């Protein structure tokens, strides 16, 4: 693999311990809000089961539902495009912009366009893209990718955001008041909404039955962009389809409670037809999803509704930060989706977990995330793409554990060194020693004690 792996990137994040603690606590607080919201719904577990089964049905009928949506949406006046991969998606968006002779566009949150690296592509073509979700605008101005799919700049302190706004929006230096900064962004982005002729949004759910799609935001940025633009482009992964409109009742009850603990987002907008004089496009993106669908052990990750509950609960995510995952969708779900796209580049991610299972417990569509993490590890090690140190350690461990005399000798030697020469283990070469002390040393092993005490 090229570039730094999760462990190395997490090391960088971990250099600033107070920040790590703050990041950890902030996300845990969001997780607690999720719990409170979920516990207020007595039928919560039934809802999760229903959502999971609806999505199972979607996966088993996906080709039919896609065609059903295409027919219904086309009848509604929406133009459907099919993109086999990221490059084709980006080319389709560019061709629409070119046809309208437009070189500026507003965009609301879409992790799919992050996956496709749309912004970089359009920038190289001379197209100016403004991300309009506040958190996304912050990271865009900072020249960074989002670190969280729901809370894009959760890794940033308000003072840093104040600095970024001072530099780019001309707010007074040193002002880091969230209310003030949000208002500054409101004024800055309102001008963009009013002057852009093309708006791109993501899609939360697309209804096969009616050919409409639903976009959920708290800020209202997707609506401000879409309703003021002459052209609305909505990009969606092909797995975002649901069969019937009434299924939205299930998913909208689960989505935001799982994400932030709110009962629903401020806006759940249902786009069915372009307004008179407007053009509306939906771009279906495959980019590896159809292949992933064929992987029995891993296909259920395509049920994901992108709530990020698994991020907020994950002890590894909370303490390593989103950027350590070096992929558009970080966290536990990202760690089982990314190896599907590029097994070598993301071979480290299934190991970025304690396999504690908390992710699977909070998942609103009941994806067995931690089991898939475990299964990916086996696929990766068998395929020979595991990191070298991990392979060497596993080999040594195998030798030690399969030779009783080596095992006993190694235990004795370890205890002697820790007792008489602690500096040999309490140093930077021992990864266990990072952020924690080694345990106290017992005088004898259980085996030795047992030999002495058995009658």
Residues in 183-212 at the binding interface with other proteins, rule: CB under 8 A = 183, 186, 189-190, 193-194
* Tokens matching residue 114: 């992050």
Angle of helix 62-75 relative to helix 44-60, nearest 10 degrees? Answer: 90
Task: Tell me the closest approach of the beta carbon of residue 161 to other proteins, in angstroms.
Answer: 6
Nearer to other proteins by Cβ, of 61 and 445: the residue is 61
Smallest CA-to-CA distance from 334 within 114, 134, 117 is with: 114
Among 42, 294, 384, 439, binds other proteins (CB under 8 A): 294
CA-to-CA distance for 14 and 12, rounded, in angstroms? 5
Among 36, 39, 246, 395, binds other proteins (CB under 8 A): 246
User: Which one of 198-206, 294-302, 369-377, 414-422 is the stretch in contact with other proteins (CB under 8 A)?
Assistant: 294-302
* Tokens matching residue 343: 């097994």
- 85: alpha, beta or left, given left = phi > 0 and alpha = psi -120 to 50? beta
For the chain, the straight-line distance linking the first and the last C-alpha, in angstroms and rounded, comes to 56
Nearer to other proteins by Cβ, of 161 and 338: the residue is 161
Q: Does residue 365 belong to the site contacting other proteins (CB under 8 A)?
A: no
Among 99, 270, 391, 395, binds other proteins (CB under 8 A): 270
* Tokens matching residue 310: 């698994």
Nearer to other proteins by Cβ, of 9 and 62: the residue is 62
Tell me how many residues contact other proteins (CB under 8 A).
90
Q: Does residue 21 belong to the site contacting other proteins (CB under 8 A)?
A: no
CB-CB contact of 50 with 249 (8 Å) = no
Nearer to other proteins by Cβ, of 157 and 391: the residue is 157
Nearer to other proteins by Cβ, of 145 and 152: the residue is 152
User: Which one of 129-137, 338-346, 375-383, 395-403 is the stretch in contact with other proteins (CB under 8 A)?
Assistant: 129-137
User: Which one of 218-226, 369-377, 380-388, 411-419 is the stretch in contact with other proteins (CB under 8 A)?
Assistant: 218-226
Local structure of residue 201 (DSSP, 8 states): E
CB-CB contact of 229 with 106 (8 Å) = yes
Q: Which helix (H) or strand (E) holds 295?
A: none
Angle of helix 388-401 relative to helix 369-382, nearest 10 degrees? Answer: 90
Task: Tell me the closest approach of the beta carbon of residue 354 to other proteins, in angstroms.
Answer: 25
Task: Tell me the closest approach of the beta carbon of residue 264 to other proteins, in angstroms.
Answer: 4
CA-to-CA distance for 225 and 191, rounded, in angstroms? 11
Among 131, 219, 348, 368, binds other proteins (CB under 8 A): 219
Q: Show contacts with other proteins in window 91-110 (CB under 8 A).
A: 92
Q: Does residue 18 belong to the site contacting other proteins (CB under 8 A)?
A: no
Smallest CA-to-CA distance from 265 within 208, 314, 323, 305 is with: 305
User: Which one of 154-162, 304-312, 377-385, 397-405 is the stretch in contact with other proteins (CB under 8 A)?
Assistant: 154-162
CA-to-CA distance for 184 and 174, rounded, in angstroms? 14
Q: Does residue 86 belong to the site contacting other proteins (CB under 8 A)?
A: no
| DSSP sequence for 35-87 | HHHHHT-TTHHHHHHHHHHHHHHHHHTHHHHHHHHHHHHHHTTPEEEEESSHH
* Tokens matching residue 442: 């017992």
Q: Show contacts with other proteins in window 327-356 (CB under 8 A).
A: none
Q: Does residue 43 belong to the site contacting other proteins (CB under 8 A)?
A: yes
* Tokens matching residue 292: 């992933």
CB-CB contact of 141 with 126 (8 Å) = no
Angle of helix 369-382 relative to helix 331-341, nearest 10 degrees? Answer: 40
Please, where are the H alpha helices in 196-308? 221-228, 248-259, 289-292
Among 14, 125, 175, 290, binds other proteins (CB under 8 A): 290
Among 125, 262, 385, 445, binds other proteins (CB under 8 A): 262
Task: Tell me the closest approach of the beta carbon of residue 116 to other proteins, in angstroms.
Answer: 14
User: Which one of 126-134, 337-345, 362-370, 438-446 is the stretch in contact with other proteins (CB under 8 A)?
Assistant: 126-134
Q: Show contacts with other proteins in window 55-84 (CB under 8 A).
A: 56-57, 59-63, 66-67, 76, 81-84
Nearer to other proteins by Cβ, of 228 and 425: the residue is 228
Q: Does residue 14 belong to the site contacting other proteins (CB under 8 A)?
A: no
């Amino acid at each position: 693999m090229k570039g730094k792996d999760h462990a190395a990137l997490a090391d960088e994040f971990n250099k600033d311990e107070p920040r790590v603690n703050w990041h950890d606590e902030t996300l845990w607080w969001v997780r607690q809000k999720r719990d409170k919201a979920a516990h207020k719904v007595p039928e919560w577990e039934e809802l999760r089961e229903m959502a999971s089964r609806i999505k199972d049905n979607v996966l088993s009928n996906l080709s039919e539902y896609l065609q059903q949506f295409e027919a219904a949406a086309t009848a509604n006046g929406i133009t459907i495009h099919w993109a086999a991969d990221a490059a084709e998606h980006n080319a389709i968006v560019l061709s629409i912009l070119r046809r309208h002779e437009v070189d500026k566009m507003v965009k609301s949150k879409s992790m799919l366009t992050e996956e496709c690296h749309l912004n970089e592509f359009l920038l190289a073509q001379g197209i100016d893209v403004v991300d309009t979700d506040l958190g996304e605008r912050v990271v865009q101005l900072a020249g960074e990718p989002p670190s969280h799919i729901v809370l894009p700049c959760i890794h940033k302190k308000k003072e840093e955001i104040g600095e970024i706004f001072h530099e780019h929006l001309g707010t007074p230096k040193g002002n880091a008041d969230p209310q003030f900064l949000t208002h500054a962004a409101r004024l800055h982005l309102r001008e963009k909404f009013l002057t852009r002729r093309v708006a791109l949004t993501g899609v939360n759910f697309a209804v096969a039955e009616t050919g409409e799609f639903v976009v959920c935001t708290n800020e209202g940025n997707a609506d401000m962009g879409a309703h003021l633009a002459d052209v609305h482009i909505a990009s969606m992964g092909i797995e975002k389809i649901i069969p019937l409109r009434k299924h939205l009742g299930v998913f909208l009850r689960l989505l935001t409670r799982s994400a932030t603990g709110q009962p629903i987002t401020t806006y759940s907008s249902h786009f069915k037809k372009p307004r008179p004089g407007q053009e509306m496009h939906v771009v279906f993106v495959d980019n590896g999803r159809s292949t992933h669908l064929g992987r029995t052990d891993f296909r259920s990750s395509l049920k994901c509704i992108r709530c990020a509950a698994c991020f907020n609960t994950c002890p590894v995510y909370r303490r390593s930060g989103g950027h350590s995952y070096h992929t558009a969708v970080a966290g536990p779900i990202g760690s089982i989706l990314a190896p599907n796209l590029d097994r070598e580049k993301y071979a480290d991610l299934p190991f970025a977990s304690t396999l504690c299972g908390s992710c699977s417990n909070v998942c609103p569509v009941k994806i067995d995330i931690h089991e898939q993490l475990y299964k990916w590890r086996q696929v990766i090690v068998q395929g020979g793409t595991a990191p070298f140190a991990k392979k060497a350690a596993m080999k040594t461990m195998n030798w030690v554990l399969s030779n009783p005399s080596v095992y006993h000798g190694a235990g004795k030697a370890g205890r002697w060194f820790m007792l008489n020469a602690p500096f040999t283990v309490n140093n930077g070469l021992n990864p266990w020693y990072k952020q924690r002390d080694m345990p106290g040393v017992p005088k004898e092993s259980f085996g030795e004690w047992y030999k002495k005490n058995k009658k």
